[in-house]
């Protein structure tokens, strides 16, 4: 609820600032906002719909066993592997994380998964990095970044033990 209030205040503040120049800022801003809503609302709605079904379809016993709070390093290693290979942007990934959470995945595995998705992203490597930046850059970046997902999962695992 807090993030919703923050976003509402931010939008209202920006609209108030644009109000001072209605033809130059307010009308174009409202048009651009409407266009963004029309482009993204269907994607977000479908992603959330898919996540709702995914959360029901995923076998909770299996997810809890493989990625649950008691899975420890096994859960971190599995999340590290699947996170880097998850295709798509946040509209796909975050509903998957919500579904995994509802199916019993623990916080260390979810943090590892999200970190692996964001720093490894093998589909981005194949489509963008390798062709644009070259082999040496990709190898250096992947070696440097590959340690981040399990480290984030281990730190989260330790924090969970401290806080519980």
Q: Residue 54: what pLDDT?
A: 79
Predicted TM-score (pTM) of the model is 0.76
Q: Residue 75: what pLDDT?
A: 96
- Cβ contact 150:129 at 8 Å: no
- What percentage of the chain reaches a pLDDT higher than 90? 63
> Mean pLDDT of all residues in the chain?
91
Q: Residue 89: what pLDDT?
A: 84
For the chain, the structural domain boundaries read 2-54, 60-163
Is it the case that residue 51 has pLDDT exceeding 80?
no
- What percentage of the chain reaches a pLDDT higher than 70? 100
Q: Residue 66: what pLDDT?
A: 93
């Amino acid at each position: 609820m807090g993030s919703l209030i923050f976003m509402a205040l931010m939008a209202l503040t920006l609209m108030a600032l644009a109000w001072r120049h209605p033809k130059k800022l307010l009308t174009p801003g409202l048009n651009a906002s409407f266009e963004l809503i029309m482009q993204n609302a269907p994607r977000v709605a479908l992603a959330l719909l898919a996540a709702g079904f995914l959360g029901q379809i995923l076998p909770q016993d299996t997810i809890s066993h493989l990625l649950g709070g008691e899975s420890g390093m096994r859960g971190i290693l599995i999340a590290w592997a699947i996170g880097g290979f998850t295709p798509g942007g946040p509209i796909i990934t975050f509903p998957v994380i919500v579904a995994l959470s509802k199916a019993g995945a623990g916080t260390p595995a979810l943090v590892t998964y999200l970190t692996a998705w964001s720093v490894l992203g093998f589909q981005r490597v194949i489509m963008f990095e390798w062709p644009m930046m070259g082999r040496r850059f990709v190898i250096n970046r992947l070696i440097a970044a590959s340690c981040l997902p399990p480290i984030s999962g281990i730190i989260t695992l330790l924090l969970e033990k401290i806080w519980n």
